[in-house]
Amino acid sequence: MEREQGYGELLDAARAGDGEAFGRLIGPLREELRAHCYRMLGSLHDAEDAVQDTLDRAWRNLARFQDDHGSIRPWLYRIATNRALTLIERRGRRELPTDLRPDAAATTELAWLEPYPQRLMGWTEQLGPETRMIARESLELAFVAALQHLSARQRAVLLLREVLGYSAREAADLLGTTVAAVNSALQRARAVLTGLLPEQTQQRTLGALGDAGQRELARRYAAAWEAGDVEAIVTMLTDDARYSMPPLRIWYEGRPAIRGFLVEVVGSYRWRFLPGRANGQLAFGTYRWDEVRGAYLPAGLDLLTLRGTRIAEVVSFLDAASPRYGLPARLDGEPAGGAMSLPPGPGCRGDGPRTTRRGTSRSWPLTRNRSAP
């Protein structure tokens, strides 16, 4: 049997020009690097570009890599974070319609926040319970959207410290700055995010609902759309619910406004809704009947934010490509009926709220309040 090469041997081989060894060295880190870049950039497309650029630079500069940590991981995060900072400087922040600045002119071309495919979150399964929960919470849409309100440097500091667990000194080293600058940026970032994030993460909300509760909510929502039952949809909403459809700028708030919009849309077409997940949240691939092709064709990806057992927000990403999110490119025929099939999520395998050492539930990575220098 061929002996498994260790880290040191793979690093030596990669430095000697062995591309296969380099691939094995960085392979386990590629998915988490993509997630890190997505948090920074709010775009899957930009994140994939940043990761590819990171790995290209790492390969070209591997001979100069100084292994001070017994791992290539901090070095890759240094490169990836700096590539993301460069992209933010060039492209600005990503938006959701509900977060548009009042001074955003109607003619201004906007870059929209993008959803994150659930199939790219499989790496979190290998993490410990608390680290896994933090990794998933930090990919939720509300958290990534809130990050867009931070400066690029504040974004990087908060993610390195609160999500990835680096000390202030380690973060300063990765960013080429001082511990004092890191601590100052973290304090300002926490202050901004505290006013933007909901009280509870979707991981905790879905965990409390459990597998059966999630399936039932998904079944009711899909059934209401497919039956053209506007009142049934509205009944599932919170009083202050929001509904947006990037890349359209318009959005609706409150049951009356959303009802008025749905009356125009729900009954005008025949719909199919396929349950799924994105960003660790409940989502639906939406399909609209096309008479010419005789099939239901993709109309977008609806990402739901729940509050208890009700829907607090729907973000319908009209440009989201269905296959990228594990959904079919078309649906033929009518709904088959029967039990609702929903991919596993929080509460489906015993995932529940994480707790502090004192036993109290907590939410959002920024509440971890590290003090290590």
- Is 270 inside any structural domain? yes
Structural domain tally of the chain? 2
303 token code pair: 């990402």
- Is 254 inside any structural domain? yes
End residue of a domain, out of 69, 92, 115: 92
- Is 71 inside any structural domain? yes
Q: Do residues 190 and 96 make contact, with C-beta atoms less than 8 angstroms apart?
A: no
pLDDT value, residue 297: 95
- Is 63 inside any structural domain? yes
pTM listed for this prediction = 0.90
pLDDT value, residue 109: 79
CATH number at residue 88: 1.10.1740.10
Question: In this predicted model, what pLDDT tens digit does every residue of 241-296 receive, in sequence order?
Answer: 999 999 999 999 999 999 999 999 998 899 999 999 999 999 999 999 999 999 99
| CB neighbour burial string for 261-296, b if at least 16 within 10 angstroms, e if fewer | ebeebbeeeebbbbbbbbbbbbbbbbbebeeeeeeb
Q: Do residues 280 and 346 make contact, with C-beta atoms less than 8 angstroms apart?
A: yes
- Supply the DSSP symbol for 4: P
- Is 194 inside any structural domain? no
- Is 116 inside any structural domain? no
pLDDT value, residue 344: 74
* C-alpha–C-alpha distance, residues 135 and 352, integer Å: 14
Per DSSP, helices labelled H in 103-201 are: 129-137, 141-147, 152-158, 168-175, 179-194
pLDDT value, residue 267: 85
* C-alpha–C-alpha distance, residues 248 and 263, integer Å: 18
State which residues of the chain have pLDDT below 70: 1-4, 101-108, 334-341, 347-373
pLDDT value, residue 354: 46
* C-alpha–C-alpha distance, residues 259 and 265, integer Å: 10
- Is 80 inside any structural domain? yes
The residues pairing with 331 across neighbouring beta strands, listed in sequence order, are 296
- Is 85 inside any structural domain? yes
CATH number at residue 256: 3.10.450.50
End residue of a domain, out of 42, 74, 92: 92
Helix (H, G, I), strand (E, B) or coil at 3: coil
Helix (H, G, I), strand (E, B) or coil at 322: helix
Residue 216: CB partners within 8 Å, gap ≥ 6? 340
Domain that residue 317 falls in: 202-325
* C-alpha–C-alpha distance, residues 137 and 363, integer Å: 8
Give the CA-trace dihedral at 149, 155, 161, 166, to 10 degrees.
Answer: 170
Residue 349: CB partners within 8 Å, gap ≥ 6? none
Question: In this predicted model, what pLDDT tens digit does every residue of 295-322 receive, in sequence order?
Answer: 999 999 999 999 999 999 999 999 987 7
